[in-house]
Amino acid sequence: MSATPVMACVALGANLGDAVATVQQALRDVAALPETQLFKASSLYRSAPYEAQGPDFINAVALIYTRLSPLALLHALQALEQQSGRERPFKNAPRTLDLDLIFYGDTELSTHELTLPHPRWHERAFVLQPLAEVWPEQVSAAQLAAVQDQAIQRMA
């Protein structure tokens, strides 16, 4: 565990079952992780599957402060996915819940289990749009322009 809390960014998504309720519950569950505090959560967004299949996704981004190490946080997020019934029958399969660790402070890491920052965060409107809402200085206009062809809509 880190002595000083680190700000981390988690992307949340779901497209099976009651995806809105699932993402809302996941935000509460992430906030309730040990040694973790929710700092900001974005609005919910509806997005078309990107390099994936199935119905539209419900997405959000959470900024948290945590004392968990990057791997401990990853494992805690994976446990929340399992609790929601997440299955991985094939790459980019529809999912009850997907929790991706996007940033962990300014940590750069590349292992078989975890790469930080997330290697494709800047290619995905479903990460960039909600991230721009809660951490605008992290997202450039050029990054947003590069994903403008990906269907995404902020929900009321």
Active site members? 86, 95, 98, 100
Q: Are 83 and 99 in contact (CB under 8 A)?
A: no
Q: Is 108 exposed, middle or buried (0-12, 13-18, 19+ CB in 10 A)?
A: exposed
* Partners of 47 in the β-ladder: 57, 152
Q: What is the CA radius of gyration of the chain?
A: 15
> CB neighbours of 110 closer than 8 A, spacing ≥ 6?
116
Q: Please give the angle made by the CA atoms of 19, 153 and 116, to the nearest 5 degrees.
A: 70
Residue position matching structure tokens 């909600």: 130
